[in-house]
A and B are shown apart, each in its own frame.
Chain A
Amino acid sequence: GAGVSQSPRYKVTKRGQDVALRCDPISGHVSLYWYRQALGQGPEFLTYFNYEAQQDKSGLPNDRFSAERPEGSISTLTIQRTEQRDSAMYRCASSLGDIFYGYTFGSGTRLTVV
């Protein structure tokens, strides 16, 4: 597509529920990134993929968070047993490659855990 598409735009969930956030990158972009952005802060790295391979997952806060990109295109970030502290804007970005390419960000998913 023309840009990076994320869905849903907004998600309100109850504490303890699982959520899945979807990212559809720009066609042909090899690299896909997940970041989390708190209000008034810069994006915080979670994980990234080249094609279907997860290159770095060092930013995932704990084992409740996981991500996959099984066919090297669409990616899903899953949060199990959500907690209130998981509330944030989750941003996906993609790029042509991982070395020396700028990111194109999607509009994000605003997750609220109540």
Chain B
Amino acid sequence: GQQVMQIPQYQHVQEGEDFTTYCNSSTTLSNIQWYKQRPGGHPVFLIQLVKSGEVKKQKRLTFQFGEAKKNSSLHITATQTTDVGTYFCAGGDFAGGTSYGKLTFGQGTILTVHP
């Protein structure tokens, strides 16, 4: 079945440094979504990418979808303490049939920001 891998598992940065997490799928994806989960909280939807090579920005966050639609990245510029949490990518694969809504989540990257 489809697998989604994320690296790194952990990232510790000083406030103001940049951060990147990478997501790789074993199959071609129909779409990819990114979620943020604060400690003790639940995943919160950040963004969705659908097109090959797509790049989207949200303030200091930049999201990319690879040309082959098998990988994605999230880059945060000049991290702040409010960026602390676990970032998950989640891939959809419509090619298998009718399960359009199912997402396969990566294991997440835990970001710690030291002030």
| Chain A residues near B (Cβ < 8 Å) | 31, 33, 35, 40-45, 48, 50, 55-56, 58-59, 91, 95, 97-100, 102-108
A50 to B101, CA, bound (A): 9
A100 touches B45 (CB 8 A): no
B27 touches A (CB below 8 Å):
no
* CA A95 to CA B45, docked complex, whole Å: 11
The smallest C-beta distance from A39 to any residue of chain B, in angstroms, reads 11
Out of B31, B102, B105, name the residue touching A56 (CB < 8 Å): B102
Residue numbers in A under 8 Å from B41 (CB-CB): 107
| In the complex, chain A residues whose CB is within 8 Å of the CB of B45 | 102-104
B85 within 8 A of A: no
Q: How far does the alpha carbon of A31 sit from the alpha carbon of B99 in the complex, in Å?
A: 12
B105 touches A98 (CB 8 A): no
11 further A-B pairs in the complex, CB-CB below 8 A; given A33-B102, A100-B31, A100-B48: A35-B105, A40-B108, A41-B108, A42-B106, A45-B104, A56-B99, A56-B102, A102-B45, A103-B35, A107-B42, A108-B42
When C-beta atoms are compared, the residue in chain A nearest to B1 turns out to be A58
Q: A105-B42, A107-B42 are in contact. Are A98 and B101 (CB under 8 A)?
A: yes
B68 CB, min distance to chain A CBs, angstroms = 19
Contacts A50-B101, A55-B101, A58-B99 given; indicate if A43 touches B48 (C-beta within 8 A).
no
